[in-house]
């Protein structure tokens, strides 16, 4: 028996997803060896193909990052012939995944009831902003919209200014990872029972799940304590936040058991037993004073590197606030392949975020290629459905199948 190339080798996925949340799920799955058929709606395919940065040919680096290793089938899903193709594919795969607005997959003719009838062993996963039920279900939504509804945006920024939001797809990527985990668990359940099932994953649920303390503290105090954004410092732990160094900013955390270590690093052993600061509760009440003490020490060091080294020697959790350029160049990220160099036929050499899941049995990364639009039309219809060249040619002539050069 041939050894598997990775942990999901042999599993087949029909992927209707676009842009980021859903493609994150299938990106992880294809990196782990699954065969992912990326079904793109004709004529333009995944909207991600239009996102920056774009090569002069029109090829998108965003698309390359999110869709390496997937096989592209570009099809008119509203045509009768297109729907027959999709039905045939559903019968052959282990997983069907989509991230359309709720109701869209039903209008295309493939709700869970239909998928289950075609393939009772299939796992179907729907990813959306607000989930498949509830008052918000039918509203349009993206990452930042769900973030705002989840109370997360409210917690970001300075207390006397408008809320802020992070300039990266935290919610989309996190939701995609949640979906990947749920699909994996559903496949494990299928191995035990032989039964497929439907999985409903939402951005809002995923974001709300990140409240490690805000919700429980509000509930436990019967609303007397309402968490609010606190700018550069945490409202419940001190010190925990951003501090101005000699050159730039750094993040420093010292929980109760680490406070003596921080005092030692600053050569301020007197603060360890100082009754004004000897508990976290007292320090939280004097956040401004504590921050001033720390920043005064930082200002007196030769440079940030010296300060960080001293903190590290004393086992105080700390980090420089790196720019993207600095993070990409960091030796730790390089050694672990957290930043990964890939080759694209058109764009050339490109650095992208690496694979975050590491398996001892499969230490090597797969060599993957981002598909051109409709690149695998013929291969998929031949191998999955047994369509001959003449039948495929007819689908091309009738406009059911589409191809692109980026």
Task: Tell me what pLDDT residue 278 has.
Answer: 95
Tokens at residue 215, please?
């919700």
Q: Measuring CA to CA, which residue among 403, 377, 398 is closest to residue 80?
A: 398
pTM of the model: 0.95
pLDDT classification of 1: cutoffs 50, 70, 90? low
Residues 62-86: tens digit of each pLDDT: 999 999 999 999 999 999 999 999 9
Q: How far is CA 134 from the centre of its chain?
A: 24
Sole residue written with tokens 């390089």: 334
Q: Under a CB-based contact definition with an 8 Å cutoff, are residues 31 and 67 in contact?
A: no
Tokens at residue 328, please?
């990409």
Task: Tell me what pLDDT residue 285 has.
Answer: 96
Domains and CATH numbers, the chain: 12-209+335-397 (3.40.50.10540), 240-244+249-320 (3.30.1540.10)
Q: Is the pLDDT of residue 372 over 60?
A: yes
Task: Tell me what pLDDT residue 45 has.
Answer: 96
Q: Rounded to whole angstroms, how far apart are CA atoms 296 and 85?
A: 68
- What average pLDDT does range 231-247 have in this prediction? 96
Residues 304-353: tens digit of each pLDDT: 999 999 999 999 999 999 999 999 999 999 999 999 999 999 999 999 99
Q: Rounded to whole angstroms, how far apart are CA atoms 275 and 234?
A: 21
- What average pLDDT does range 87-102 have in this prediction? 98
- What average pLDDT does range 206-234 have in this prediction? 95
Q: Rounded to whole angstroms, how far apart are CA atoms 136 and 396?
A: 40
* CB neighbourhood size of 39 (10 A): 26
Active site residue 172: yes
Task: Tell me what pLDDT residue 274 has.
Answer: 97
Residues 263-305: tens digit of each pLDDT: 999 999 999 999 999 999 999 999 999 999 999 999 999 999 9
Q: Under a CB-based contact definition with an 8 Å cutoff, are residues 10 and 36 in contact?
A: no
Mean pLDDT of the chain: 97
- What average pLDDT does range 101-105 have in this prediction? 97
Task: Tell me what pLDDT residue 3 has.
Answer: 72
* CB neighbourhood size of 327 (10 A): 14
Q: Measuring CA to CA, which residue among 70, 114, 119, 123 is closest to residue 92?
A: 119
Task: Tell me what pLDDT residue 4 has.
Answer: 79
Q: Is the pLDDT of residue 2 over 90?
A: no
Q: Rounded to whole angstroms, how far apart are CA atoms 28 and 220?
A: 38
Catalytic residue among 46, 94, 143, 172: 172
């Amino acid at each position: 028996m041939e050894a598997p190339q990775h942990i999901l080798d042999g599993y087949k996925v029909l992927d209707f997803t676009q842009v980021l949340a859903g493609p994150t799920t299938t990106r992880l799955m294809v990196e782990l060896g699954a065969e992912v058929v990326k079904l793109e709606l004709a004529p333009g395919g995944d909207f991600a193909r239009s996102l920056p940065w774009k090569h002069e040919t029109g090829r998108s680096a965003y698309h390359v990052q999110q869709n390496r290793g997937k096989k592209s089938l570009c099809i008119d899903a509203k045509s009768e012939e297109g729907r027959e193709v999709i039905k045939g594919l559903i019968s052959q795969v282990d997983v069907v995944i989509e991230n359309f607005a709720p109701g869209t997959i039903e209008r295309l003719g493939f709700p869970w009831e239909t998928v289950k009838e075609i393939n009772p062993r299939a796992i179907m996963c729907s990813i959306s902003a607000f989930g498949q039920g509830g008052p918000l279900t039918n509203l349009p939504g993206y990452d930042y919209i769900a973030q705002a509804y989840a109370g997360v945006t409210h917690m970001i920024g300075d207390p006397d200014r408008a809320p802020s939001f992070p300039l990266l797809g935290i919610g989309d990527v996190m939701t995609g990872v949640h979906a990947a985990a749920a699909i994996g668990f559903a496949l494990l359940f299928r191995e035990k029972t032989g039964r497929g099932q439907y999985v409903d994953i939402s951005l809002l649920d995923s974001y709300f799940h990140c409240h490690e303390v805000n919700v429980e503290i509000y509930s436990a105090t019967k609303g007397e304590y309402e968490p609010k954004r606190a700018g550069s410092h945490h409202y419940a732990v001190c010190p925990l936040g951003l501090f101005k160094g000699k050159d730039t900013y750094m993040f420093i955390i010292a929980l109760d058991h680490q406070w003596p270590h921080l005092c030692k690093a600053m050569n301020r052993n007197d603060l360890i037993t100082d009754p004004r600061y000897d508990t976290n509760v007292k320090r939280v009440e004097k956040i401004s004073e504590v921050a001033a003490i720390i920043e005064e020490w930082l200002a007196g060091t030769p440079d940030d590197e010296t300060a960080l080294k001293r903190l590290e020697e004393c086992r105080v959790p700390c980090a420089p606030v790196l720019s993207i350029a600095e993070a990409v160049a960091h030796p730790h990220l390089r050694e672990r392949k957290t930043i990964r160099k890939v080759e694209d036929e058109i764009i050339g050499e490109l650095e992208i975020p690496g694979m975050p899941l590491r398996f001892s049995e499969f230490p090597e990364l797969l060599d993957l290629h981002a598909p051109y639009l409709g690149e695998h039309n013929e291969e998929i219809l031949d191998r999955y459905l047994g369509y001959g060249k003449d039948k495929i040619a007819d689908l091309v002539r009738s406009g059911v199948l589409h191809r692109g050069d980026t």
